[in-house]
Structure 1
Amino acid sequence: MTQGWIVSLIFSLILTSSCSTPKIAPISESTSPEVELPKEIQTQFAVKEVKDMPPPRAPTPTPTATSAAVPTSKTSKKSSKKKASAAETRTVTQIAEAAPAFQYPLRRKDPVPFWVGEKQSIEVTFFGMAAGEFELETMPLKQVNGRKVFHFEGRAKSSSVFALVYRLNDKIESFMDYDGIFSHRFHMLLDQTRQRRDSLELFDHEKKQVYYWNRKNHVEKGYSEIKEYKEISPFTQDSFSAYFYARTLPLEPGASYIIPVSSEGKSWEMQLTVVRREMIDTPLGKKQAVVVRPQTRFQGVLKQDKGESYIWLSDDDRRFILRFEAQVKIGTVVGSLKKVTLGEPPSTAQNADQKPENNSR
């Protein structure tokens, strides 16, 4: 989930990093996933503007005609000597319906909590020191695989002081189905002190598989590359879209929600448990928050993490991240909402060409 991404980006390697780390060669753009993908996959998962989207086509079964000779018999009145007349045949045409077309779920509940143009800026601290900042932004609607999609971006950057210990400048993107609220495409670019990564995940829900391509330059391990297809549960989330899906849940007191996730070629489940509700201080003033605890389940078994993590979401129809805490090997990583831009309401955001409203708080 988003919290796990934050921790991995900022702190997973901090304890083994140093200022004297040598430079890592950048990953060549000439061999980017977009260039080397098979043509049919390039076309299927290309990101396009909504205005270029073809009109939806209703699936219509294609009938096939099959003919069969059905014998009929008649008795001749003129010839009583014959026991039976010659057999006659007539043709019967049977219409066989085609197999039902693949059906996408309709899980969107209006109004959706994420608005085009919304932006959350969160300050991350470690032992009271400003470690970095990350932003979550909802971009204009796009289309992928002939489907309208939400476009989410996340950017993380270390502070100037913390960069002396460990530098990062990372970006992730997720494209979530507008009606079904599941992931079609995930792209991650990491530029850090000890590694550079370019990771792409393409979700084919009809075939129940994900195409995973990860390229990495590591300061000690060198260059490595993975290309593989993996099976997935239908309508699963990526590690970033899981947060946006969670924002659509009712988050009832004491409830636990299971979210299927696929990341880095592995399928697992996020168990999100509602812990409590409480008032907290935020840049938006005092806000009622719902506190949730994300945990990982693999093959139905709850994974025992080394440290607990909690996320405070605004207890309203937007579910902004107000705060998070994640225990690491030493200390606790804390993130606090610094600024939020509300974006434009869904009633006006349907036009992808319309510029988002800059109503910051």
Structure 2
Amino acid sequence: MRKILLTAVLVCLLAVPALSAEDPSPPFGPGERLYYDIYWTVIHAGKAELLCMADTKMDGEPARYFFAKARTLGWVDNFYKVRDTMEAWTDMDVNYALRYKKDQNEGSYHKKVELVFDRKAGKSYRWARGTLQHTLDQPEDVFDPMSILFAFRKQPLYKGMEFDANVSDGKVSVVGKAFVEDKETVETGIGDVEAFRVRLDIKHLSGVFKKSKKAELYVWFSADERRIPVKVKSKVVVGYFSMTLREYYPPARG
């Protein structure tokens, strides 16, 4: 059961597409809230939320701010308590990452990570447990595991599309790939949703799935201008993890 909730949330946040040269106004914005139920096979293991917070500043630069939280429920909470949070900051157009934080609390395991991107220097700095542990050379436009999701939602989808983009957790920096396979109807808490099924190439991200080298990873995005991540599914050694949208609240438009 180790890292059930963090793994499930990362499944959703590791989408890795490229961006269009002409980015339209994004379908997300401050005030948008997404709430999910997380399952291990048929067991309701926990819940998660994904929020687009009020715009802010990071090191003096205007920034978008995203927040995610996951926790276990019921008997799972008694057996293996999880309380994880993630935060990400990007430029206002969501073209590159500025900073990423993760506070991981799973059973007796506790770890805080902060990832700082220095775009001018072309480097990133990963701090863990208060110590600088990794410094990496980075491409000019690179995303963390959370902000890549919002970069993806800027791109109109269609069957047969293939994507790639730079993504880094501060320990490795890779070009991830995603493939839009088909359109399906997904049952969610907000009703049946027509969605594109996206298959993710995760061979470079095996650190998230150390016990399942051949894990399959799919994310379904609503087939409309919102491109909401409505479902996630990952096959692992024993069964699978899934995350399904329970509630959705649109951004506040001024």
Name the TM-score class by shorter chain. 0.7 to 0.9
RMSD (Å) for aligned C-alpha atoms: 2.7
Match of 1:328 in 2: 236
Q: What is the aligned-residue identity percentage?
A: 21
Residue 187 of structure 2 corresponds to residue 281 of structure 1: yes
Q: CA deviation at 1:10?
A: 9.2
Match of 2:140 in 1: 234
Alignment map for 1:1-361 (pairs within 5 Å): 6-7=6-7, 109-179=23-93, 181-215=95-129, 225-296=131-202, 298=204, 305-345=213-253, 348=254
For residue 161 of structure 1, give the secondary structure of its aligned residue in structure 2: helix
Quick check: which one's strand share is greater? 2
Contact kept, 8 Å, 1:213 with 1:228, in 2: the verdict is: yes
CA distance in 2, matches of 1:190, 1:169: 7
Contact kept, 8 Å, 2:51 with 2:68, in 1: the verdict is: yes
Q: How many corresponding residue pairs?
A: 239
Question: Structure 1 residues 5 and 239 mapped into 2: Cα distance closer, same or farther (>3 Å)?
Answer: farther
For residue 39 of structure 2, give the secondary structure of its aligned residue in structure 1: strand
Question: Structure 1 residues 243 and 5 mapped into 2: Cα distance closer, same or farther (>3 Å)?
Answer: farther
Q: Cα deviation per residue 1:189-237 (whole Å; 9 max; x = unaligned)?
A: 0111031111000101111000111129xxxxxxxx5533211111100
Q: Cα deviation per residue 1:258-314 (whole Å; 9 max; x = unaligned)?
A: 01011032101221110101222222222210110111364xxxx994221111111
Contact kept, 8 Å, 1:108 with 1:178, in 2: the verdict is: no
User: Which letter maps to 2:40?
Assistant: F
CA distance in 1, matches of 2:58, 2:73: 35
- Tell me, which stretches of 5 or more residues in structure 2 are unaligned? 12-18
TM-score (normalizing by structure 2):
0.86
For residue 140 of structure 1, give the secondary structure of its aligned residue in structure 2: coil
CA distance in 1, matches of 2:106, 2:215: 24
Question: Structure 1 residues 324 and 117 mapped into 2: Cα distance closer, same or farther (>3 Å)?
Answer: same
CA distance in 1, matches of 2:98, 2:5: 19
Match of 1:32 in 2: none
- Tell me, which stretches of 5 or more residues in structure 1 are unaligned? 12-104, 217-224, 349-361
CA distance in 1, matches of 2:81, 2:87: 20
Contact kept, 8 Å, 1:107 with 1:181, in 2: the verdict is: no
Q: Cα deviation per residue 1:326-349 (whole Å; 9 max; x = unaligned)?
A: 11110011111111111212xx1x
Q: CA deviation at 1:164?
A: 2.3
Q: Which has the larger radius of gyration?
A: 1
Question: Structure 1 residues 133 and 232 mapped into 2: Cα distance closer, same or farther (>3 Å)?
Answer: same
Q: Cα deviation per residue 1:71-92 (whole Å; 9 max; x = unaligned)?
A: xxxxxxxxxxxxxxxxxxxxxx
For residue 213 of structure 1, give the secondary structure of its aligned residue in structure 2: strand
